[in-house]
Structure 1
């Protein structure tokens, strides 16, 4: 999972959540389980692509992108699922309601046929099969055939807002979390930002389905997300061609086409729960009833402090061979001379609303100060042969969550390099319970 979603982005996340609920049947049962139990899960209220890609067993929302959390995708939170891809956009949905003026807050009512027309006009010659052309929405999916094999293609239009909102969608994922063949980030004229990712539907490549994705975030805060595959469906269909049909250059031409402008203008303005539309409200801490401050909800650690704190708490004798992360997430690849071991952590304030899901089962202990601790040992879920996943998950009575995981490999999607992780369960527990986490600067 980008990612400084402050209160001004709350309305966008709520609206995106509504879109995801409509697309719920696109997630397998194990995908939903990871969104709840993934070691680096960010929370129900945020489903962002890259966070999904970075979860203990999850996404790249790699993979649910805005249109779909990459291990990376659009969807923020959660941090990244064995069945999640680096380019899994939200399943296109449409309603056949013939009364477009009966629009609910945050609901797009763009004629699907108009989105399909723009898609066809800006792609090479070929035949298209597109359903629900009589409906309304903000996304469309179909099957394209240029004579070299049928290929699934999806496109979604979004309005995350202005400023930093949506920037996660145009940032390449970390290869420690998600493997890919190529990824390019580019700044365009007018303040637009573009990402083109050439990856796979499954991070472990257990199927040969390739998933290529182009995401454009315009300077005025609109986002278009296009994904294509070398099969007639994102999942469950045999590979029909060597590569998806559109080259990176053609994907760029597609997402930057002027035809999208009139459609962007039809997207509803997201509602800013902190005091106005479009992020122009009173901001965090203002605008509550009777002039009282409202709670800060999406606070998270600033800068690289989680990374440095994690390294300071690692046991002695471990050599750090790789490191990284952003905001509340950090990882370190360590080696004690017996092989590489990935260690990762998420520090998540304001998680009380999912405490029951996270600590309602399993080996849970409540400490004298009220903190709950859950220890788990399970097989890895990203496809690496022989990988095991050990986790210490903790939460204070106030909802401050620290979850630390370790693996017996340098990444989750590669084969195990050792019998067990380099850290013991007790060492993971000690890191998670360190008082240093609650002293971190938040924003």
Structure 2
């Protein structure tokens, strides 16, 4: 038996084993309404949306929560979270144009099917190289797409399975390969299963930080199309072969690391060191633009601010996000927070005139109490959204369930609105910005 066949057997067993053990929650739609718009804008600002015109690749760091609406689609939908570009030496390889990249994509796909309705971007496109289309092997049309980008140095999220409290899926495994760390994910387009569209991914994080991300669905479109087949078209071993295929070498060489002070496509970044352009937004007194932000400290800070009479059964987070599942003896309750250091460019959208309370220090506060959004019976979501002068935004939500797509476990969240206000406006959040 070949090493590849051994891998497929091993992976199939592991997928079945891990799939049996997950009772996942849902990180899609981290908080209501405004957060989807805010995170969409901050993702665009940091990296630009990575997507193909036919299929929006779900380039999410699946070690954490799905980012809501990064392509500007429906509010609250999980779409694309492009990796922030690293800085380093500019690639010396010749660019791979869209038609050549698409030809390579066709070449590496299993020969039993044909690719139609295609779209592609080359390595010379500032949004990053992608290829996508509708794959038809006679068993039902399926949307497929692949993207390439540079991960932030040290970010391992692209090669780690989602936290089971944040994303509902059937199975996920990781494996170290000579060419990097591979993740195979088998989940759903909508974690609350309101549609039957499945979403399977293979993501390879290479030692040089480059990411190859393949997305497949069991429908001819990522969203809004009827399911056409039981599963997406490729087996785990086939997905592995696609993302690790040597034919991608020219694309990877040309993607490379952008030069310091330049974005992935080579255009100057406003305000970057060495850039001659003027910053897009001037700093304001007391503002947080350009400050170093310790996003990894968000979830430990959340834990430190929770009332001491709560029992924490699960916890975790990613850059800028944290969550905890707590219990006061009356049932499980999910609490989650997002911290964003500079959201001035969408402040008027998130905090429209007359729609907020202003504290003595100038912090704007909005309180929302509404039904849950992820299908759990009887679920409610209480949210406190805050923004300080200078744009530092902290949003806290609490639910009356331990996972948003599960039924309510209690009448109300474990934290009151006043407790959520105290948590969101705590001075401890200022320590994350230096």
The change in CA–CA distance for 1:255 and 1:205 in structure 2 (over 3 A counts) is same
Count matched residues. 372
Please give the root-mean-square deviation of Cα atoms over the aligned residues, in Å: 4.2
Tell me which of the two structures has the higher relative contact order, counting C-alpha pairs closer than 8 angstroms and 6 or more residues apart: 2
Are 1:412 and 2:404 counterparts?
yes
Extract unaligned runs of 5+ from structure 2: 1-27, 50-54, 83-93, 277-282
2:41 aligned to which of 37, 40, 44: 44
Deviations 1:45-91, CA, capped at 9 Å, x for gaps: 32599xx9xxxxxxxxxx9756467543799899x965326xx689x
Q: How does 1:297-316 map to 2 (within 5 A)?
A: 297=290, 299-301=292-294, 303=296, 305-316=297-308
SS at match of 1:153: strand
Under a length normalisation based on structure 1, what TM-score does the superposition of the two structures give?
Answer: 0.71
- Rounded to whole Å, the distance in 2 between the matches of 1:127 and 1:324 is 41
Under a length normalisation based on structure 2, what TM-score does the superposition of the two structures give?
Answer: 0.73
Q: How does 1:59-98 map to 2 (within 5 A)?
A: 67=59, 71-72=65-66, 82-84=76-78
2:169 aligned to which of 136, 159, 180: 180
Q: How does 1:327-346 map to 2 (within 5 A)?
A: 327-346=319-338
2:343 aligned to which of 340, 351, 369: 351
The change in CA–CA distance for 1:223 and 1:307 in structure 2 (over 3 A counts) is closer
Extract unaligned runs of 5+ from structure 1: 1-30, 53-62, 91-107
2:228 aligned to which of 240, 243, 252: 240
What residue number does 1:325 align with? 317
Deviations 1:111-161, CA, capped at 9 Å, x for gaps: 4443333233323232323235798563222222223222111122x3326
What residue number does 1:118 align with? 104
- Rounded to whole Å, the distance in 2 between the matches of 1:439 and 1:417 is 34
What residue number does 1:130 align with? 116
What residue number does 1:360 align with? 352
* Contact 1:139-1:154 within 8 A present in 2 as well: yes
Return the offset for 1:229. Answer: 1.0
- Rounded to whole Å, the distance in 2 between the matches of 1:441 and 1:89 is 23
2:136 aligned to which of 140, 145, 162: 145
The change in CA–CA distance for 1:161 and 1:386 in structure 2 (over 3 A counts) is closer
SS at match of 1:238: coil
- Rounded to whole Å, the distance in 1 between the matches of 2:76 and 2:405 is 9
Indicate the larger mover: 226-235 or 319-328: 319-328
What residue number does 1:13 align with? none
2:371 aligned to which of 375, 379, 388: 379
- Rounded to whole Å, the distance in 1 between the matches of 2:114 and 2:81 is 19
What residue number does 1:104 align with? none
What residue number does 1:14 align with? none
